Amino acid sequence: MFSTSRTFRTLALLSALLSCEVSGSQAGSPSAAEGDPVQSCNKIASSISNNSAVSFPGSSQYAQDVFHWTASSADVAACSVEPGTAADVAIILRILGSDRTPFAIKGGGHATNPGFSSTKGVQIAMSRFSAVNYHPENQTVDVGPGLTWDDVYAALQPQGVNVVGGRVSGVGVAGFSLGGGYSWLSNERGLTVDNIVSYELVLPNGTITTVTENSQPDLFFGLKGGFNNFGIVTRFTMKAFPQGQVWGGLLIFGPNQTNEMNAATVKFASQTNDLKAGLITGYGFVPNVTLSTALLFYNAPTPPPGVFDDFLAIPTISSNVSTRNFLDLVQSYNSPLANGPRGRYQAVPVLSYTPEFLDAVVNETSTLGEKLNSTVNGSFISYAMEPFQSRLFSFAPQGSSAYPPDRSQVILPSNIYYAWSDAKDDDLMTSAIVESGNRLHQLAIRQGQDLTNVALYGNYAILGTPLESIYGQNLPRLQALKAKYDPQNVMDLTGGWKF
Ligand SMILES: Cc1cc2nc3c(=O)[nH]c(=O)nc-3n(C[C@H](O)[C@H](O)[C@H](O)COP(=O)(O)OP(=O)(O)OC[C@H]3O[C@@H](n4cnc5c(N)ncnc54)[C@H](O)[C@@H]3O)c2cc1C
Ligand SMILES: *[C@@H]1O[C@H](CO)[C@@H](O)[C@H](O)[C@H]1NC(C)=O
Ligand SMILES: *[C@@H]1O[C@H](CO)[C@@H](O)[C@H](O)[C@H]1NC(C)=O
Ligand SMILES: *[C@@H]1O[C@H](CO)[C@@H](O)[C@H](O)[C@H]1NC(C)=O
Ligand SMILES: *[C@@H]1O[C@H](CO)[C@@H](O)[C@H](O)[C@H]1NC(C)=O
Ligand SMILES: *[C@@H]1O[C@H](CO)[C@@H](O)[C@H](O)[C@H]1NC(C)=O
Ligand SMILES: *[C@@H]1O[C@H](CO)[C@@H](O)[C@H](O)[C@H]1NC(C)=O
Ligand SMILES: *[C@@H]1O[C@H](CO)[C@@H](O)[C@H](O)[C@H]1NC(C)=O
Ligand SMILES: *[C@@H]1O[C@H](CO)[C@@H](O)[C@H](O)[C@H]1NC(C)=O
Ligand SMILES: *[C@@H]1O[C@H](CO)[C@@H](O)[C@H](O)[C@H]1NC(C)=O
């Protein structure tokens, strides 16, 4: 068992020590006897098939391969490689493993922690794994780990089917699916990990295998939340189901509407039990005011009366809600680029959203937003509330996935996002986001929420978060699994949450 209180105390300490941020084990600390990346690049170039390609700094392919949603998550790799087949991924992993050369695996490049999908060694970009193959005979879809969800929805839409994937534009399939996956369809069908039926995986020793619940139940569990600890995924096979027109879009409210927005959010979170309905309430500081937003979703052409009436009755600055196709809804909140060149996420999971909690979120947004705007070049801060419904974790059994470690109660994952311009402000902004999350966490506890077994979501949690706060009681099982499938510690050469 683990305690998020302990997490946040640890984080408070960490925030005082942030100068050692990227040397932590989670960023993939370089091992003692590291290989020379350029030599590995040349070996890879001469070993792979013509389905794959190595690029060096200066080329446009290299620039695409190292590109990340937020530039602070990118690094200057010695070279990049775009594998085109699982066999080439196997060759690459064998070379990197025997050379002990640091590397990174990038899907959509949306990781907000530096070093999770970037490296000074060899950047592997999965972009050539871009197939979407729907199998109507067994209602599954093969999805390439180089795609964004936009690509997947665009390919499936003409066939009238869908999968449980991302909620906003630009996010990668791979990291999202390997971490958990909170979707607009999760109230009806669970997390993305609950809807994956098989993985094609290149193991750390270069063996290509297909992992299903029957073939390797231990790996099947580990891949559902365990990110890149067990090798490189070259294909996801997901459940497919019919998808028609949906309803929703983005509402933006002025500062005077915040109280009404909070009231509508609390009511929605506590009373709505229509599984087709989804909501993300956001707060952002735009000098010198706090604006709120509501991203509405309903999985039918029109929501029944009552579900969103409170939101629709509040005067808006901007409103773009309509009946539309699923891809269009996802693209109504378009974030192809981050709000600043540098950025971090932090998770503040809670069990419920109370009026006092949302008031505190608004106060954090206003107080910190104003303070940081006057001291930090290009700062932007926002807070996202995600009121999922109580059945969210009931679509798969306890113990079926690395994340979440406890399915007995629903977690509202909740996300803070800070962005800024200059690297010199990294420590200050990282401390600020950690401390803000800490204050909100403590407030929720003071309000009586028992957050003891409430795991942080690995795709939101900031670098430095203790592993047991993400994986809880599953951590020993995951560490044993990692030791079994990666005895040579090949995957320690890449960044991320490391078992
Ligand atoms: C704008 C935005 C919106 C978001 N919305 C949501 C949301 O609605 N719901 C939600 O759950 N999350 C959301 N997230 C979080 C998102 O799930 C993570 O950022 C996720 O890691 C992105 O996946 P990626 O492939 O783009 O990331 P990457 O940075 O490419 O990869 C993330 C991690 O996965 C590993 N990885 C990538 N590909 C592979 C592979 N083929 N094999 C093994 N390991 C691999 C990488 O090494 C890295 O550690 C959002 C993030 C952003 C920035
Ligand atoms: C790739 O190599 C194969 C033989 O290994 C060859 O048949 C094919 O034409 C080559 N393709 C390209 C695009 O060069
Ligand atoms: C689904 O059908 C495809 C095509 O026939 C097949 O390749 C695949 O193995 C099947 N998948 C499952 C899970 O049965
Ligand atoms: C919003 O509230 C402020 C006080 O907080 C008031 O000065 C202002 O006039 C209000 N604006 C509108 C459009 O109601
Ligand atoms: C925001 O408020 C601060 C402090 O009150 C002030 O210095 C600054 O000029 C204001 N900025 C804008 C854009 O109004
Ligand atoms: C509203 O959404 C449509 C897509 O449905 C988009 O084309 C349009 O630009 C959006 N309008 C605003 C104001 O965001
Ligand atoms: C608002 O937030 C600031 C910064 O965290 C804090 O110092 C202050 O006590 C908060 N105010 C209220 C009323 O909670
Ligand atoms: C604060 O915000 C204003 C308005 O967006 C902007 O002009 C100013 O540059 C910001 N301050 C800093 C320090 O970035
Ligand atoms: C603020 O950041 C921008 C880049 O976003 C840069 O061009 C500018 O010089 C910076 N301003 C200061 C005062 O450092
Ligand atoms: C690679 O690892 C797998 C899983 O541990 C194992 O079954 C296989 O024998 C290994 N292959 C080689 C060549 O070592």
- Structure confidence at residue 205 as a pLDDT band (50, 70, 90): very high
* Contact in structure between 151 and 131 (CB atoms under 8 Å): no
- Structure confidence at residue 257 as a pLDDT band (50, 70, 90): very high
pLDDT at 266: 98
289 C-alpha to ligand 5 centroid (Å)? 10
Query: pLDDT tens digit string along 210-219?
Result: 999 999 999 9
C-alpha closest to that of 26 among 414, 458, 348, 482: 458
Q: Which ligand is nearest the CA of 259, by number?
A: 4
SS3 percent helix, strand, coil of the chain, rounded to 5, is 40, 20, 40
Query: pLDDT tens digit string along 9-65?
Result: 333 333 333 333 333 345 444 444 788 999 999 999 999 999 999 999 999 999 999
Using alpha carbons, list the distances in angstroms from residue 476 to 454, 459, 466, 496: 18, 20, 13, 17
* Contact in structure between 75 and 66 (CB atoms under 8 Å): yes
1 C-alpha to ligand 5 centroid (Å)? 46
455 vs 444: CA distance, rounded Å: 14
- Among protein residues, the one with the nearest Cα to ligand 3's atom 10 is 138
Q: Give the chain's radius of gyration (CA, Å).
A: 22
Structure tokens at 435: 């401390």
149 C-alpha to ligand 3 centroid (Å)? 22
Residue 306 beta carbon below 6 angstroms from any ligand 5 atom: no
344 C-alpha to ligand 2 centroid (Å)? 43
- Structure confidence at residue 152 as a pLDDT band (50, 70, 90): very high
257 C-alpha to ligand 4 centroid (Å)? 10
pLDDT at 337: 76
- Structure confidence at residue 335 as a pLDDT band (50, 70, 90): low
pLDDT at 35: 84
pLDDT at 72: 98
Percentage of the residues of the chain whose pLDDT score is greater than 70 = 93
Query: pLDDT tens digit string along 281-305?
Result: 999 999 999 999 999 999 999 999 9
Strand runs labelled E in 59-215: 79-82, 103-106, 122-125, 132-135, 140-143, 161-162, 196-202, 208-211
Q: Which helix (H) or strand (E) holds 380?
A: strand 380-385
Residue 287 beta carbon below 6 angstroms from any ligand 8 atom: yes
Residue 287 beta carbon below 6 angstroms from any ligand 5 atom: yes
Alpha carbon 350 to its chain centroid, in Å, reads 18
248 C-alpha to ligand 6 centroid (Å)? 12
Residues with CB under 6 A from ligand 10: 203, 205, 207, 485
Query: pLDDT tens digit string along 171-188?
Result: 999 999 999 999 999 999
420 C-alpha to ligand 4 centroid (Å)? 29
Query: pLDDT tens digit string along 425-456?
Result: 999 999 999 999 999 999 999 999 999 999 99
356 C-alpha to ligand 1 centroid (Å)? 31
* Contact in structure between 494 and 102 (CB atoms under 8 Å): yes
Residue 367 beta carbon below 6 angstroms from any ligand 5 atom: no
C-alpha closest to that of 222 among 453, 483, 466: 483
Atom of ligand 6 nearest to the CA of 324: 5
- Among protein residues, the one with the nearest Cα to ligand 6's atom 5 is 328
Q: Which ligand is nearest the CA of 377, by number?
A: 8
288 C-alpha to ligand 5 centroid (Å)? 6
Alpha carbon 6 to its chain centroid, in Å, reads 23
Query: pLDDT tens digit string along 362-404?
Result: 999 999 999 999 999 999 999 999 999 999 999 999 999 999 9
Residue 441 beta carbon below 6 angstroms from any ligand 1 atom: no
Atom of ligand 1 nearest to the CA of 181: 11
- Among protein residues, the one with the nearest Cα to ligand 5's atom 10 is 288
Alpha carbon 102 to its chain centroid, in Å, reads 23
Q: Which ligand is nearest the CA of 322, by number?
A: 6
Ligand 3 pocket test: pick from 138, 141, 196, 213 the residue with the most ligand atoms within 8 Å of its Cβ: 138
Domains defined for the chain, CATH in brackets: 23-30+39-125 (3.30.43.10), 132-243+472-489 (3.30.465.10), 246-468 (3.40.462.20)
Residues with CB under 6 A from ligand 7: 360, 363-364, 367, 439
Q: Which ligand is nearest the CA of 288, by number?
A: 5
Residue 463 beta carbon below 6 angstroms from any ligand 1 atom: no
| For range 340-355, the mean pLDDT | 97
* pLDDT over 50 at 110, yes or no: yes
